[in-house]
Structures are given as structure tokens and as C-alpha cells.
Structure 1
Amino acid sequence: MVEVANASAVDGAVVNHLERLVLENARKTKAIYSSTTDGSSGRKRLKLDPASASSDPDVSQKALSLRLHAEYSDVQTLPEAIASKLPAAGARKKKARAAPAEEAPSQSEEQTRKLIEGIPSRSSAGPGGSSALVLSRKPPSSSSSTPANPQRNEPQTGLIRRSDILAQPKPDWHPPWKLMRVISGHLGWVRALAVEPDNKWFASGAGDRTIKIWDLATGNLKLTLTGHISTVRGLAISARHPYMFSCAEDKMVKCWDLETNKVIRHYHGHLSGVYALALHPTLDVLVTGGRDGAARVWDMRTRSNVHVLSGHTGTIADLVCQEGDPQVITGSLDSTVRMWDLAAGKTMGVLTHHKKGVRALATHPSEFTFATGSTGSIKQWKCPEGAFMQNFEGHNAIINTLSVNDNNVMFSGGDNGSMSFWDWKSGHRFQGLDTTAQPGSLDAESGIMSSVFDRSGSRLICGEADKTIKIWKADEDATPETHPLEWKPTLARRKF
């Protein structure tokens, strides 16, 4: 009887032990699997319950891993609609992982770098690929596997200059220019000059309200045109029509018929004096600008005002037209240069590098470049985006006029009578001199107000404040031996 009781007690203990094992296994199973699925739809969901977590850390880790996987498995890949818009995301990540040091520059960085010519892209920047000051670190010695401890007095970093900052282009040799002829006849400052396309004569406009036609070979006066009632400030002679256009401080823009020597058209619209005028080389349009700060585009034949290019806040002192974009460039006394989209009549870009009013512009006859001049500052730009190229340093005066010929010679004339001749490629000033005021005039009347090269580029015509026109030409007897190039590369060139 006692044995039966002992047997029943042992069986009860075994049953209780098995029941505890079953319950414990059930709790572990529930902790792992029961909360990862929804019984109705079979949809996986996350249900983290700290109270239901097992005391076994391994079981808890597996349960948490399964739950997280069940929750985020639906969003491991992007939807097709979104993935199709990001085709290069994976390639870019792989490229970044493979070579993080050669990260491709962003579009904004490339655009900024493009606006400042001379700064290469990151991919091309090797030793000597940038003109900036860079931080140089001394590499560890390759003879030992562990880097050597630096000495206390030995600098490990230093500022060094890239080698290409000294690699300045050597300027071309140009013969010096000398005075060839002085023409007198005007009774006021000579403010405008224009050369006829066949290079036989040129026109001048002055403060005496007249326009005079001169023989280019002899300097003899051929004709005097009257019609303006104030200082003539701009002249342009058409290469495709027998027309000459003039503008003056009397707000008038006139079209002269060179066959009858009479005015055949007037262009009305300017609210104040008209200071600058230019003809488009291929289109029958005329562009004028003046004190009202607006450049107006006129249809040459119908006299209609096609566009009013507004944006400047000061007087437009000079403007140029060219065949390619930007087809119109204006310089203003508000210290800015604007490039215009002629088709839309809107600004393409604004150059704000000058600190003083921009009084002179000049485009290269064959290159897609142009120059701007203000007080003590002449800058060169590249079209069409207006990328800054270089400074022409050395002419410290109010720059009234700029001219460029096909031989890469640029002339700048100052308000104090100073003259500078430059090499267009390198910006080197190879000749500088002062004009001489004529007898009977004041020294203050030695300013150079206008200039233009003839069609061959061999003669330079200057209109001055002493009421004369001076013609300069290159010295034919000069050679690189008799007039050697005086040029020394500078350590650093100021970019802005």
C-alpha cells in the first residue's frame, strides 16, 4: 500500500515537472512567434511587449530580430514609381564607397567654378591643379610599418603654393605706337568716333553739336553734318546699308542717309540724353542707352521700339552688340555690367565686380571675349556666361574708352590724358604714355574721350578733350631687338 502511494507521488511529481516544461516552452514559443502575425489576415505586425520577453537573452534577441524583420520587410525596397526617378542612386553610393576621396562635385559647385575661370575641377586637380593655398601634410615614412613619431620642432603641416600660380602666359611682342597725325576742326570735346566699313573715311561727333566726315588717308575734312542741338555722344555706320546713326544729349537718335547726307528717320522714346549707340551686326536693329538707365532696341526701318531693356539704376555709359549671345552688353555708372537676351528682352547675367561706374566696353573682333573699364580697373570676360578671365592692372585713371584690334592689342584712354596699350592674351601693359594737349588749351583738357581702331587695326583714332583728333600707328621700324619686351612674372595675380 505504501509502495502504491510512493509510486503515485513520483508520478505526480513527474507530471508537474512536465507541465512546467510545457508551459515554459509555450511561453517561449509565444514570445517568438505569436506577436509577429495577425491571425485574420496573416499580415506581419510589430508588437514588442517587455513583459512577454523571455528571461533567456538569446530567445529575447531572436524574438526582437524576427519582429523587426516582420515589420520592415515590406519597405526594404522602394516602390517602382520612386525607384525609376532615382536610377543613379545606387551607382553613386557604390562610387562613393569605392573612392570617397574622388567625390564628384555638385552642379552648383561646377557652375560656381565655371564663373571663375582658372579654377579647375576636382577631378583634374592634381599637383599644380589649383592656384589656391593648400595644406600640405608630410607623409609617413614608408620604411617602417608604423608611422614615425614627429619631432617636436619639425612642422608637420605648412602652407605651400601650387606650382601653376607662377605659370603665367608670356605676352606676345608688339611694336610701340607713336603719334602719326593731329586733326583740328571741332569746337568742342570729341565724344564719338566711327570708321566706315570700306576704311576710306571716318566720322566724329563733338560738343559743338556737329558731325564731321574725315578722309582717313589724308585727314582732310570732307563734310560737316548739322542737326543735333546738343553734344553728339554716339556714332555708328552700318555695314549693310548706306546709313549712319547718331545720338546726342538732346534725347534724339537720328538716321542719316549717306547718299543724300540728310536725316531720314528719328527714333523717339528716350527720356533724357542718349550716351551710347550700337548696331547689331546681322539684324536690322539699333540699340541705344543713356541717362534714363534704359537700353532701347529699335527696328531700324519701322522706328518701333522693340524692347526696353530696363534693370540698370544708373546712366548707361556704353554698350556693344555682337552676333552671338549675349547679343547686347551694357555698362552703367551703377558699377554693373548687364548681358541681355535680345529675343526675350531680359537680363542674362549681371557682372558686379567693378567698384566704380563702368564707362567703357570693348569686344574682341575675332574672339568671344570682351573687356570692361571703370576707374582704375579693367577686366576681361568670356562669353556667353560672363566668366571672369583676368585684370589689366596698371592704368590708374578714369577709363573713358577701350578699343581692341585683330592683333590682340587693346587700348585704354584715361580722363587725365593717360594712354595704355595692352597685350590682350596676357594682360601685360607693354606701353604707357600721356597725350599732349594742344597749344592754347588747358592741361586739364588732355583727357581722351573716345577711340576706335580702323578696319585694318593698324591705326588708332582718338578723340580728345582739347578738341582734336589724334591718329596713332605702330612703329614700323621697331623690332624685338630695338624694343625688347619688358616683362617679369609676378608672384601672385589678383583675381578680383
Structure 2
Amino acid sequence: MGKFADKLAAQPLYFQNAYLSSAVKSQVKSGKFAEYYKLLTDFDYLEAKIKRPEFGVQALITDYDLIDESKVATHSDDNSHEVETLKRIQGTLRLCAHILAEDQTQLAGQLLGRLLSFPQPEIQALLAQAKQWQDNPWLRPLTPSLTPPGGRLLRTLTGHNHWVNALALTPDGKRVISASSDRTLKVWDLADGKEVFTLTGDSSSVTAVALTPDGKRVISASDDSTIIVWDLADGKEVFTLTGHSNSVNAVALTPDGKRVISASDDSTIIVWDLADGKEVFTLTGHSNSVNAVALTPDGKRVISASDDSTIIVWDLADGKEVFTLTGHSNSVNAVALTPDGKRVISASDDSTIIVWDLADGKEVFTLTGHSNSVNAVALTPDGKRVISASDDSTIIVWDLADGKEVFTLTGHSNSVNAVALTPDGKRVISASDDSTIIVWDLADGKEVFTLTGHNHWVNALALTPDGKRVISASYGTLKVWDLADGKVITNFTADNSVYCCAVAPDGMTITAGDSSGQIHFLQLEAGL
């Protein structure tokens, strides 16, 4: 805390309350505008007032309502600059009043997220104070990514004006690429949160992004039927890959980074050469949209999943179909490969998961147990177990040695949207439409923690590289949780639904995309 807060805290409680109640009014009445101005641009005063239950954020906002009265008291118009500054701070407090009423620890983050773009020295001094706040862990906005006071549009990180569909981090963790429904991609510098390039060329929503292993090129897929290859050194388009006749849903790169595979609603998969941008093969065999593609670890085969209920295994040496895996009776939503590349697991709207042998294309097991669509599958790092998430509100853990159900994890009351595994493979985290995240122990299938705090569905999860923290994205909020005790470390409230999130290799820098097109760059501050 600052000198003001220390001095105030040293006084008896009755004095503190009396001071916070009367300080501003007395200065206004006495015409001491300078003192009034100094107090209402002091972060410690703002914090002290909102933290007291007998005052709170609304009482603080009311302090600023005395601005015009103060001008009259001083009989001067020379303080117009100061008045404008106070109005901006008051406007910021109004924008986040509902947040601060529930969580006073977000004061510093809300001020920074909304006022960073204003150059006035007094505002920057206030924010410098806010940056030093260390009473609790918190997420410090690195850029002005929240709605500013006055209703004006931001100029930083607001090139997107529609949903952000996907995020990708370069291998060195220095840049993040965002893909949006506004037809653009943006490359951002994680050191300062500034936009490096805006990649424009798509004529419809950008649906997916992928990076070459060396981090030098980014590949974007679009609803306009094209794939574009971009150079990250200068942000220029290298190739536009044209050949599909409908939306491109997914892209994947071979391990050597020399070829890209695209899957489309036109029922085809196309293999492209990244050296010259030419089509190598068009893989035809599906009779409906292709939803997902996966590559074997050796890069020799590609597996595609389709709405036609089939999975096809293709040979990338000649582009020929190796096997068509038939067994599902509805759309195949996802595919995953065991680490050794010998088996593929498919998840379907028919409520089943099927394990296939890639040596002969035969079905090894059909995993039945869900009663609704299977949305996602994940494999433990040792490849011995598969975890499936379903619209039936359950997660099932299966043993890949015998295809038997090990545990059914019941605890959610609505669809399970995503699952994530800790790097050691000992715990699984699930996110649901029931607004909760559950952490499960894979040794006994028991619930370790139910993480409650969101008030809407949880859209996405991201784990820090050390597996000690999980970040959850929901309707308007981002939460950081400690997986040691299941407690919330900190919250960040955005102005719109947060749909995706990612964590940089440092485990402290978090990026999140929301439904308005904003990209939030956040630094986890440890606190005391």
C-alpha cells in the first residue's frame, strides 16, 4: 500500500471512516480544488473507499459528482484539464462498478485495462500506482483491451471487429496470432502487446490457424474456401492456396513443415507443397464435410474425420486411400492418435468412441457408455488411456489395452465442452456448460475439486506448462485456478464472452480472445 493508505490505516477505524466520508466534500466546500483533485487521482484513496462495505464503489463514484460544484467553489475555469481527467476516472469506475461490487481486487486491472491509452500525466501516474499493487495475485492488462470511458473506440488491439475464433503462439512464445470472423489475422508482440501486422486477404471468416515448426510462417484457413500462407518476418502473403469449393474447417502440417493438409466442407482434403504453394494431391473419398484431420507422428499418413460417419486413412507418399474406417452411424467430430502412431481414436455424434488399428484398418474396440454426442477426446501422455467428453454431462476414462471403461466421471450437470490433461497425466480437467470446471484424479477417478465461480458456460481451458495452474474462459470472465488447492488465484472480467485462451511458455503471460474481436494480453502478478 502507498503512503496515503499507510497513514490512514494507522488511524482509529472511526477516524478512517469519517475521513473517507467527509474528505472530498470538505475540500470542495472550502474551494481547495487542488487537494480534491489530488485525492481523486490517488489509487490508494480509491482502493480504500471501495474496500469499505459502508462505502463501496458507488460512494466513490459519487465523490466525482462534486466536480461541477468544485469548479463553482474555485470561481475558475482554469482547471478544465483536471476536470476532464476526473471525468475519465469516474467514467471508468462506472463501467466496472458491477465488477468491483463483487470483487474489489480487480480495481487495478480494470483501471489499467480501460485507461492505458490516455496519455495525461495524472492518469499515467494513477496507473503507475495501480501497477505496484501487490496485496493479492492479479492479472495485469498489458494493453488497453477493455472499453474505455467516454464510449470511444480503442486504437490498440481493436483491429478485429468480430469473434476471435483461434489463437496460436509461435514456438519461441514471443508472438501470438489471432484469427477472426472479421476476415483478418493479427500478429501481436507479447513483449509489449502491440500489433506487429494485420494479415488481410481472406474474404470471409478465418476458421483456423497453424504455424510451421520453425515459427516462420503461418497458415490460415477460411470460409472463403482458401488457405493463405503468410511470412511472419514481414507479414506478407506468400501463397494463396485455391482448390477447395467450400469452407475450410481445419489445417495440419507435416512434422517437417514442408506440407500442409486442409479439410473442407466440399468433402475433400488437399495436400499442398509449402515450397511452391502447389497442390500435391486432392484426397477424394468422403461424401460430406470433413471436420478434422490428424497426422501420424512420422508424417506419412493423414487421418480425416467426416460428417459422412467415416474416417479415412491416406498415404501421403502417393495420396491414395489406405483404409476407410466404417463403424460410426453419425458425424465424426474428432480424432486423436496414440503417441506411437499405431492407433487412432474417433469420437462421434452417435455417442461412441472407436479405437482403430492403423496397421490393418480394423476396429479394435467400440467404446460404448455415453448416451449423447462425444465432443472431445484426449490421451494420457503414455498412450494407455483415452478420456472422452460428452453432451451427456459425463467424462469417461477408457483403458486402451482392453477397451474397458475404467471410470465414469459424473459431476457435471450439462454438456462437457473440453478436457485437458496435466503434463504428468495424473489429472484431467473438464469444462462444462454448467459453469463449472472439475479436476479429477486419474488414479481413482475421484473428483479432486469442483471449481465454481463462473456464472455461464465454460468455453475453453488452458494449462500452464508446469501443470500447476489452469485458466478457464467463460462468458465475460477469465479465471486462473491453483491446481494444488482448487482455489481461484485471480479473475479478469472482460466486456464480452471469452471464447479462447492460451498460455505462453513462461506460464505467466496469458492471451484471450473474446466475441467482440478483442485480444487481451495479461500478465499474472504474484502478489504478496
TM-score normalized with structure 1 length: 0.48
Question: Which has the bigger relative contact order, CA under 8 A and spacing at least 6?
Answer: 1
Of structures 1 and 2, the larger Rg is shown by 1
More strand by share: 2
